Amino acid sequence: MAAAARPVDVVRHFPCSSSVAASSSLLLSRSKSRLASPAAAAASSMRRRLVLGVGAAAAPAVAALAASATPAALRDGAATLLITAGAYSLVRAFDGLTARRLIEQNLSRKIVHVLSGVLFMSSWPLFSNSTEARFFAAIVPLLNCIRLLTYGLRLSTDEALVKSVTREGKPEELLRGPLYYVIVLLVSVLVFWRQSPIGIVSLSMMSGGDGFADIVGRRYGSAKLPFNENKSWIGSISMFISGFLLSALMLFYFSCLGYFTVCWDLALGKLALVALAATVVECIPVNDVVDDNISVPLATMLAAYLLFGYSSCC
Q: What integer pLDDT is reported at residue 63 of this predicted model? A: 56
Per the CB < 8 A criterion, the answer to whether 279 and 243 are in contact is: yes
**Using CB atoms within 10 A of its CB, is residue 86 exposed (0-12), middle (13-18) or buried (19+)?**
middle
Q: What integer pLDDT is reported at residue 60 of this predicted model? A: 61
Q: What integer pLDDT is reported at residue 79 of this predicted model? A: 96
Q: What integer pLDDT is reported at residue 197 of this predicted model? A: 92
Q: What integer pLDDT is reported at residue 193 of this predicted model? A: 94
**Amino acid found at 181:** Y
3-state helix, strand, coil in the chain (%, to 5): 80, 5, 20
Q: What integer pLDDT is reported at residue 139 of this predicted model? A: 96
b (16+ CB within 10 A) / e for 282-307: bbbeeeeeebbbbbbbbbbbbbbbeb
Gap between the Cα atoms of 121 and 257, Å rounded:
13
Q: What integer pLDDT is reported at residue 59 of this predicted model? A: 56
How many residues in total does the chain contain? 314
Q: What integer pLDDT is reported at residue 184 of this predicted model? A: 94
Q: What integer pLDDT is reported at residue 104 of this predicted model? A: 85
Gap between the Cα atoms of 178 and 6, Å rounded:
90
Q: What integer pLDDT is reported at residue 70 of this predicted model? A: 85
Q: What integer pLDDT is reported at residue 314 of this predicted model? A: 63
Q: What are the structural domain ranges in the chain?
A: 70-192, 195-313
Q: What integer pLDDT is reported at residue 202 of this predicted model? A: 95
Q: What integer pLDDT is reported at residue 24 of this predicted model? A: 46
Contacts from 87-90 at CB under 8 Å and sequence distance 24+?
Answer: 87/116, 87/119, 87/120, 87/140, 87/144, 90/115, 90/116, 90/119
What's the average pLDDT block by block, 10 residues per block, for the chain (314 residues)? 44 43 46 47 50 51 59 95 93 85 85 93 96 96 93 84 76 89 94 93 93 90 88 94 96 93 91 95 83 92 90 67
Phi, psi for 228 (deg, rounded to 5): -155, 105
